[in-house]
Amino acid sequence: MMRFIALATLFGSTLAQQMQLANNYSGSAFFDLWNYKVGNDVTDFFGNAGNEGVVNYTDQAFAQQQNLLFVNSVGNVIVKTDNFTSGVGNASFVRNSLQLLSKEQITPGTLVIMDAIHMPFGCAVWPAFWFTGGANWPSLGEIDIVENVNLATNNAYSLHTTDGCMASSQVAITGDLVSTDCFNATAFDEGCKVTDSTLSYGSGFANNGGGAFAMLWNDAGIQIWFFPRSSIPADLPTPNPNPSGWGTPTAFYPESTCDTTKFFGPQTMILDINVCGNFAVDVWTTCAAVAPQCTDVVPIASTFDDAYFEIRYITVFSNSTTGSSTPSTTATPVTTSIESVISGSTTFVVVTQTPSTTPSGTSSSMGYSLHAISLSVLAGLFGLVLTLNTM
Ligand SMILES: *[C@@H]1O[C@H](CO)[C@@H](O)[C@H](O)[C@H]1NC(C)=O
Ligand SMILES: *[C@@H]1O[C@H](CO)[C@@H](O)[C@H](O)[C@H]1NC(C)=O
Ligand SMILES: *[C@@H]1O[C@H](CO)[C@@H](O)[C@H](O)[C@H]1NC(C)=O
Ligand SMILES: *[C@@H]1O[C@H](CO)[C@@H](O)[C@H](O)[C@H]1NC(C)=O
Ligand SMILES: *[C@@H]1O[C@H](CO)[C@@H](O)[C@H](O)[C@H]1NC(C)=O
Ligand SMILES: *[C@@H]1O[C@H](CO)[C@@H](O)[C@H](O)[C@H]1NC(C)=O
């Protein structure tokens, strides 16, 4: 066991050399890193068909002026739906809400982390943290990290693609694989879906202090982890997060059954709160006791008291960035040295990290080519440790 932990740490430190912080979406720096979808939900930001929400997506200035977008007293970002305007008796009422689209694009070789205290839920509420290839959906793919509707209790992860991308039942995941075909025309666009525990969504998530989601897209495919608050790995908020130490992913779409370079183009991150869009209308069951139909609750302001994200940070790490746009949090390149120490029958592998003297540009340009080297070094070391341990 000791051996395993030590090796996991070592592997993590070698992997970490390849990723650098590209952006930290947090505090007041959060707001200007996004474009804002403005207006109704008939079409989306890219001109695709919209989701038929009873919603008015507002611009940034209006949202900040109305306190739909602000930094709260503990420094977390709030992104919320209007829960103070009544539309009762107004047949043409639509509710103000937000859809944020990242200015940066996500490509293979990227790790995205979101740590949130609270995520939106409630009847008519459809929150999502997702990624899309944009125009001509789904030709450049869609990745859903956070999504469900109404009073659902479990988060769902999924991909939506053109024909030929499948989830695999052959890889280990901690979530429940519900459907394997990612093709948007299969099963009314259900996607290749993995569902998670009741701590991952809605009141279960909020009552547990929230948690963190991480998505790693690289040569292995697309992997997603969810960590409830108390089990967030210590390295998650640091400049050197190491996915290899995080254990079995919650969802994993391996490259062997979905060629992500073929089915996914550069992705725009989207954070939004839809109101009575088609998904919420179609899956109204959890709110059937509250009102006959979704549109009945839209005018009632208090319906939306829980329709907010409280976000500590969203970080984007990339293997192809040359440095952070926020210099104070730029990752320091590290070199790793290894010593083996034999103590009784237990072997300890001691990993020492020291700041590299290599210029950061050189360091980052090493990229993923290091991966194969790291693996072979690791394989050799593993053999060494086993040998030492039998002494
Ligand atoms: C929709 O949002 C815009 C800001 O983007 C705002 O000016 C307008 O008043 C809103 N519409 C309604 C009906 O509230
Ligand atoms: C009814 O709602 C619409 C859209 O939200 C808004 O523009 C309009 O001012 C409201 N009418 C009244 C009388 O409040
Ligand atoms: C799947 O995508 C195609 C291409 O955009 C579209 O024509 C079709 O309606 C979509 N099917 C579903 C069920 O979303
Ligand atoms: C990003 O910002 C948050 C909030 O200030 C901080 O806790 C976190 O450590 C930062 N992440 C990195 C990698 O700098
Ligand atoms: C809106 O929701 C927030 C967060 O739940 C709550 O603190 C606030 O009291 C609500 N506003 C109104 C007008 O009820
Ligand atoms: C980044 O990672 C991707 C996917 O693993 C890889 O294809 C690409 O070559 C890497 N880029 C660099 C600059 O290392």
Q: 322: pLDDT confidence band, cut at 50, 70 and 90?
A: low
Question: What was the pLDDT predicted at 229?
Answer: 98
Residue 370 has pLDDT above 70, yes or no: no
96, 99, 275, 298: residue to mutate for ligand 1 pocket, most atoms within 8 A of CB: 96
Q: For 133-189, what is each residue's pLDDT tens digit?
A: 999 999 999 999 999 999 999 999 999 999 999 999 999 999 999 999 999 999 999
The DSSP letter of residue 93 is -
Q: Which are the catalytic amino acids?
A: 142, 147
pTM score over 0.85: no
Are 283 and 150 in contact, with CB atoms under 8 Å apart?
yes
Cis check: omega of the bond before 239, within 30 degrees of 0:
no
62 lines ligand 1 (CB under 6 A): yes
Are 126 and 117 in contact, with CB atoms under 8 Å apart?
no
Q: Any residues with CB less than 8 A from the CB of 275 and at least 6 apart, and which? A: 53, 54, 55, 81, 94, 95, 97, 124, 125, 126, 298, 304, 307
Q: What is the assigned CATH class of domain 21-318? A: mainly beta
Q: For 260-301, what is each residue's pLDDT tens digit?
A: 999 999 999 999 999 999 999 999 999 999 999 999 999 999
The DSSP letter of residue 390 is T
Tell me where in the chain the CATH 2.60.120.200 domain(s) lie: 21-318
Question: What was the pLDDT predicted at 18?
Answer: 73
Residue 359 has pLDDT above 60, yes or no: no
Q: For 71-95, what is each residue's pLDDT tens digit?
A: 999 999 999 999 999 999 999 999 9
What DSSP element (H or E) covers 160? strand 156-160
**353 C-alpha to ligand 4 centroid (Å):** 21
93, 96, 300: residue to mutate for ligand 2 pocket, most atoms within 8 A of CB: 93
Pick the ligand that lies closest to the CA of residue 241. 4
The span from the CA of 236 to the CA of 328, in Å, is 17
pLDDT-above-70 percentage for the chain: 78
The average pLDDT across 206-226 equals 98
Shortest-distance Cα residue to atom 3 of ligand 5: 305
C-alpha distances in Å from residue 258, one per residue of 140, 170, 215, 265, 374: 13, 13, 16, 13, 25
C-alpha distances in Å from residue 337, one per residue of 10, 34, 56, 255, 334: 9, 40, 55, 32, 10
Q: For 26-78, what is each residue's pLDDT tens digit?
A: 999 999 999 999 999 999 999 999 999 999 999 999 999 999 999 999 999 99
